[in-house]
Amino acid sequence: METAVQYWHLRRHRLFSKLSAADIKELCILSGYKKAAKDEVIYISDHVRRIYVLKKGVIRISTIDAAGNEVLKDVVQEGDLFGEITLSPGHNGQQGPEIARAVSQEVSLCSFLLQDFEKLLLRKPGLSLEYTRWIGMKLTRMHTRYADLVCKDARTRLIEFLKGFSIQRGKVKGREVRIRNYLTQKDIAGIIGATRQTVATLIGELEQQGLLRYSRSEIIIPDMALFQ
Is the Cβ–Cβ distance between 158 and 199 less than 8 Å?
yes
SS3 category, 72: strand
pLDDT at 33: 82
Other C-beta atoms lying within 10 Å of the C-beta of residue 63 = 19
User: CA of 226: how far to CAs of 39, 122, 210, in Å?
Assistant: 35, 48, 10
What DSSP designation does 1 have? -
pLDDT of residue 91: 47
* pLDDT of res. 29: 73
C-alpha distance across the termini of the chain, in Å = 47
Domain residue limits, the chain: 2-128, 151-226
Global pTM? 0.71
The CATH T-level fold of domain 151-226 is Arc Repressor Mutant, subunit A (1.10.10)
CA–CA distance, 87 with 93 (Å, rounded to integer): 12
**2-128 CATH choice from 2.60.120.10, 3.40.228.10, 1.10.260.40, 1.10.760.10:** 2.60.120.10
β-bridge mates for residue 53, sequence order: 81, 110
CA distances from 175 to 101, 160, 196 (A): 32, 17, 29
| CA 176 from centre of chain | 24
Q: Which of 161, 149, 84 is nearest to 117 (CA)?
A: 84
Q: What is the pLDDT of residue 19?
A: 77
Measured CA to CA, the distance from residue 10 to residue 26 in angstroms comes to 11
pLDDT along the chain (228 residues), means of 10: 64 75 77 86 75 87 80 82 67 63 87 84 85 82 72 90 85 90 86 90 96 93 90
Q: Which residues contact 112 (CB under 8 A, 6 or more apart)?
A: 27, 30, 31, 32, 50, 51, 120
Domains 2-128 and 151-226 alike in fold? no
DSSP track, 181-196: ----HHHHHHHHT--H
